[in-house]
Amino acid sequence: MNGTTHTCPGCGRHDLTQAVPAVYLAGRTAVTSRERDAGGAARTVTRIATTALADALAPLPRRPGRALGGLGMLAAVVGIGAFLGGRLAEGAEGDGAGAGFPQDTGPDLAFLDTVAAVALGVVVFVAVVLLGREAAFALRTRGRGRAEELWSHGWYCHRCGTVTFHGVPGEDRVPLSLQGFRERVWERGGYGPMAVRRPVTGR
């Protein structure tokens, strides 16, 4: 707890109240581990582990997932492999196969080029989808500054599990449920409907 604390109107005590940003940050831990990548080389990977409470107190929705990026990476690897395989096969067909017009391209070579073209299509598709999602998310949450301003005035009571706004003109000092707090904050940021679609409970 840092310096000032506020009394929780729910239980009338202040010993277990904590500023929402502090609770939120305490619930997000960077977990570092050593892993091996596809090539077998060891590397250090850092991920953010979030507690359910920090998750519930988030000032904005989660960023869109990037699981699709794995598909894009796979397609890129397959595409490069197929392309190089095609060039190798072309070279093995004999030197001097005319520029752009190899004389006797077997079915294998054509197949590899088709695979490379399809893989390239998948890479482009994945990139467009991911960039589109990021752009839509940024647009939808462009009022996050206002939301975070209100959010920073929230005080969480660890006894009651409620949040109360302190020092915000126009906001009643009423204990709010985690969901009520989320709706109020996200609404201020202009993305209130997302709080209804992604309720705190059941996550």
> Using the rule CB under 5 A, which residue among 56, 157, 195, 200 binds Zn ion?
157
- Least distance from C-beta 14 to Zn ion, angstroms? 9
> Exposure pattern of 163-200 as b/e (b: 16+ CB <10 Å)?
bbbbebeebeeebbebeebbbbbbbbbebbebbeeeeb
Residue ranges with strand state E in 9-107? 17-19, 28-36, 42-50
**Total residues at the site for Zn ion (CB under 5 A)?**
6
Is 9 an interacting residue with respect to Zn ion (CB under 5 A)? Answer: no
Cα separation, 190 vs 19, in Å, equals 23
Between 109 and 200, name the residue whose CB sits nearer to Zn ion. 200
Between 8 and 112, name the residue whose CB sits nearer to Zn ion. 8
Q: Which stretch binds Zn ion (CB under 5 A): 26-34, 130-138, 156-164, 181-189?
A: 156-164
Between 13 and 66, name the residue whose CB sits nearer to Zn ion. 13
Q: Are 152 and 165 in contact (CB under 8 A)?
A: no
Amino acid at 100: G
> Using the rule CB under 5 A, which residue among 53, 74, 160, 168 binds Zn ion?
160
Is 176 an interacting residue with respect to Zn ion (CB under 5 A)? Answer: no
Helices marked H in 57-191: 67-92, 107-140, 144-151, 178-188
Between 157 and 200, name the residue whose CB sits nearer to Zn ion. 157
Residues near 89 by beta carbon (within 8 Å), at least 6 away in sequence: 106, 108, 109, 112
Is 159 an interacting residue with respect to Zn ion (CB under 5 A)? Answer: yes
Is 130 an interacting residue with respect to Zn ion (CB under 5 A)? Answer: no
Binding interface with Zn ion (CB under 5 A)? 8, 10-11, 157, 159-160
